[in-house]
Amino acid sequence: MPVSANTCRLRKARVSEQGRIYLLTAGTHQRQPVFADWRLGRLLVNQLRCADESTSITSMAWVVMPDHLHWLFELNNGTLAELMCRLKSRSSRSINRVRGVQDRVWQRGYHDRALRRDEDIKGAARYIVMNPLRAGLVRRVGDYPLWDAI
């Protein structure tokens, strides 16, 4: 599938502030349960870790659900658009390579919410890691393989 010039351009009014904490959600294309295969989920996890190691963000919590990602992080440098373009592009390439296809993995865009420092960041992290339990995927959070929190 050819990449258009607008592939990485997202909502025009989006603001990215260094030092701000964001709760981000991104869905798979047509809500396909791509990450129900935990091995494909680990490919996305590798990209989350690469973003953290690049120092552009500091991850606080994330969970890779079968058809979406929740991610809580502090933006250190760059923009949300750059971060998400890089994450989606690199994860799509590695997932498609393993599957031997050239399919679209992600929905266009993503949802982000900036949190204030005085908000309950710990509560937001708990909400994220409890997703597999609420979805009925596991009986205990520790049984789900695709999450992490600091």
Provide the residue ranges of all domains of the chain, joining segments of one domain with +.
21-149
The strands making up 21-27's β-sheet, listed across from edge to edge, are 111-115, 21-27, 68-75, 57-65, 147-149
> How do residues 115-145 score in pLDDT, each as one tens digit?
987 778 999 999 999 999 999 999 999 999 9
> How do residues 105-119 score in pLDDT, each as one tens digit?
999 999 999 998 777
| pLDDT value at 10 more than 60 | no
The rounded distance, in Å, linking the Cα atoms of 94 and 100 is: 10
User: Distance of CA 82 to CAs 34, 42, 51, 101, Å?
Assistant: 23, 22, 11, 25
Q: Model-level pTM?
A: 0.88
Percentage of the chain modeled with pLDDT above 70 = 91
> How do residues 69-104 score in pLDDT, each as one tens digit?
999 999 999 999 999 999 999 999 999 999 999 999
pLDDT of residue 9: 47
CATH number 3.30.450.20 given to 21-149: no
| pLDDT value at 14 more than 80 | no
107 closest CA partner among 17, 29, 52: 29
pLDDT of residue 42: 98
| Helix ranges restricted to H, the chain | 38-53, 80-99, 121-129, 131-134
